[in-house]
Amino acid sequence: MDIILLKDVDNLGYKYDIVTVKNGFGRNYLIPQKMAVIANVDNRAKRDEIVAKLEEEMAKRVDEFKAMAETLSGAVLKIGAKAGTSGKIFGSVTSIQLVQAIKEQLNLDVERRTITMTEEVKNLGTYSATANLHKEVEATINFEVVAE
CATH number of 2-61: 3.40.5.10
Phi-psi region of 30 (alpha: psi -120 to 50; beta: other; left: phi over 0): alpha
Q: Which helix (H) or strand (E) holds 92?
A: strand 88-93
Confirm whether 2-61 and 65-147 share one CATH topology: no
pLDDT value, residue 62: 85
* Residue spans of alpha helices (H) in the chain: 23-25, 41-74, 95-106
AA letter at 8:
D
- Can you count the helices (H) and strands (E) in the chain? 3, 9
Q: Which CATH architecture has domain 65-147?
A: Roll (3.10)
Averaged over successive runs of 10 residues, the pLDDT of the chain (148 residues) comes to 92 91 95 95 95 86 87 89 88 90 90 88 91 86 90
Q: Is 75 helix (H, G, I), strand (E, B) or coil?
A: coil
Domain residue ranges of the chain, discontinuous segments joined by +: 2-61, 65-147
